[in-house]
């Protein structure tokens, strides 16, 4: 049965000592909002919409105040949640549960939740917030459990445990529980099989038919670099001006960026798996540096590509070379003169390989110039691809 709409939330910790729809929904909101506080969502939203001078989003802060939430500083990173749970359960003399038990035994004593909430509202620390999330994972109500798991997913060291709770939530008969669970699961584990199952055959067919998709593949040690990720300067430029079909979901492909044959081989295997899981056919790739060699290895592993654009790719033929029978359109190499990073890598600068079109920009030495949007505009790189 759907929850009754709430016109006025029950503010403060008192919602945790009450039952009924308003109390349950308020508890869920407190947990989700506390997760947002710790992630710094308020500040991030404000930075996105109003530039770096503004510190926080007043609209979001106002709603946090209506819930009576204490102010919380942003807190990133994961805690040792198993240890934290041990401390928490011993405080309330609750039995420890073995890690081997895959289902959470609900805590029936409502006063435990009320007390942990009371402490959080009084103390207002990241520790008290995480305690509240931890204890609510064992709440008898599934909406509160999945809200706690959603809020805790960026802070707990036991992500598998949270994913189990979220997956169970996706099977709820309650729309709200399913919706929160699926959203949180998509953020915590974008490739989870349960999400594909939930999409159903219609959506899966839609993805398979989307053959015109382009994706960026980063190079060595660039896994955490912003330029190739959604919102990054190069990604934004390509999406807006060159390839509107550029893949922009959070679950985009990434690899370790390791500087070794083993790291590239693993990346190629992962790329093939990623494409299979996403039902992409004839994906176009724009790669930088050794990302191009990862793509070559993937074609040798049977991956079918449309177009392959290589930016500053170190040439290591025959170790890394494309299987042209798996490339349906063309391979274009774009590079600069005497790339110093490629020099250090002892790679070749120029492809002398049938089927690869060479383009040399009038720039010297800079390995990273080829993913600079200004360079693309100035030298009309889109015309080369």
Partner 1 sequence: MWILKAIGLFLAAAGWRLTGSQQFGAMLIRALSAKNENLKNIAGILIVRAGHRSEPLLQAALQRRENLPMTLSLLGDLGDRMVENEIRPFSTDRDPQVAEAARQALRVLASNR
- Residues in contact with partner 1 by CB under 8 A are 76-80, 154, 157, 220-221, 223-225, 256-260, 262-263, 265-266, 340-341, 343-346, 365-368
Cβ proximity to partner 1: between 58 and 190 the closer is 190
Cβ proximity to partner 1: between 348 and 382 the closer is 348
Handedness of CA 187, 192, 198, 199 (dihedral sign): positive
Q: How far is 204 from 190, CA to CA, in rounded Å? A: 15
Cβ proximity to partner 1: between 257 and 322 the closer is 257
Q: How far is 57 from 217, CA to CA, in rounded Å? A: 34
**Cβ at position 1, least distance to partner 1 in Å:** 38
In eight-state DSSP terms, residue 79 is B
Strand partners, 79: 156
Cβ proximity to partner 1: between 76 and 86 the closer is 76
Cβ proximity to partner 1: between 157 and 179 the closer is 157
Find tokens 């909101």 and name the residue. Answer: 29
Query: 84 CB contacts (<8 Å, ≥6 apart)?
Result: 130, 131, 134
In eight-state DSSP terms, residue 356 is E
Cβ proximity to partner 1: between 356 and 369 the closer is 369
**Cβ at position 366, least distance to partner 1 in Å:** 6
Closest alpha carbon to 245 in 292, 218, 296, 280: 280
CB 198 within 8 A of CB 170: yes
Helix locations, 214-318, DSSP H: 233-237, 261-277, 291-300
Cβ proximity to partner 1: between 205 and 259 the closer is 259
**Cβ at position 19, least distance to partner 1 in Å:** 36
In eight-state DSSP terms, residue 111 is H
Cβ proximity to partner 1: between 173 and 224 the closer is 224
**Cβ at position 257, least distance to partner 1 in Å:** 6
Phi (first) and psi of residue 291, to 5 degrees: -60, -30
Closest alpha carbon to 118 in 13, 9, 35: 13
**Cβ at position 214, least distance to partner 1 in Å:** 23
**Cβ at position 157, least distance to partner 1 in Å:** 6
Helix locations, 210-322, DSSP H: 233-237, 261-277, 291-300
**Cβ at position 231, least distance to partner 1 in Å:** 16
**Cβ at position 224, least distance to partner 1 in Å:** 5
């Amino acid at each position: 049965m759907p929850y009754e709409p709430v016109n006025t939330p029950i503010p403060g910790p008192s919602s945790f000592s009450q039952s009924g729809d308003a109390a349950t929904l308020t508890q869920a909101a407190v947990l989700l909002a506390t997760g947002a506080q710790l992630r710094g969502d308020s500040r991030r939203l404000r930075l996105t919409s109003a530039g770096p001078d503004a510190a926080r989003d007043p609209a979001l802060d106002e709603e946090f105040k209506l819930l009576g939430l204490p102010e919380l500083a942003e807190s990133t990173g994961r805690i040792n949640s198993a240890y934290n749970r041990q401390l928490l359960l011993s405080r309330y003399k609750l039995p420890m549960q073995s890690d081997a038990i895959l289902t959470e035994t609900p805590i029936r004593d409502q006063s435990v939740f009320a007390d942990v909430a009371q402490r959080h509202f009084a103390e207002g620390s990241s520790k008290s917030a995480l305690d509240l999330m931890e204890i609510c994972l064992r709440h008898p109500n599934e909406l509160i459990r999945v809200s706690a798991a959603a809020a805790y997913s960026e802070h707990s060291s036991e992500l598998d445990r949270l994913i189990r709770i979220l997956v169970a939530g996706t099977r709820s008969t309650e729309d709200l529980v399913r919706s929160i669970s699926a959203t949180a699961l998509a953020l915590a584990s974008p490739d989870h099989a349960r999400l594909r199952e939930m999409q159903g055959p219609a959506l899966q067919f839609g993805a398979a038919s989307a053959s015109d998709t382009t994706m960026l593949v980063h190079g060595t040690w660039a896994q955490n670099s912003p330029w190739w990720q959604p919102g990054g300067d190069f990604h934004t430029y390509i999406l807006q001006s060159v390839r509107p079909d550029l893949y922009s979901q959070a679950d985009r492909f990434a690899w370790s960026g390791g500087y070794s044959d083993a790291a590239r081989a693993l990346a190629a295997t992962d790329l093939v798996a990623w494409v299979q899981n996403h039902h992409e056919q004839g994906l176009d790739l724009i790669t930088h540096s050794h990302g191009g060699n990862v793509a070559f290895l993937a074609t040798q592993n049977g991956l079918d590509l449309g177009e392959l654009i290589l930016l500053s790719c170190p040439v290591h033929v025959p170790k890394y070379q494309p299987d042209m029978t798996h490339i349906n359109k063309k391979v274009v190499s774009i590079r600069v003169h005497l790339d110093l990073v490629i020099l250090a890598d002892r790679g070749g600068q120029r492809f002398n390989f049938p089927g690869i079109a060479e383009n040399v920009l009038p720039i010297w030495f800079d390995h990273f110039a080829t993913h600079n949007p200004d360079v693309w505009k100035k030298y009309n790189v889109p015309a080369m691809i």
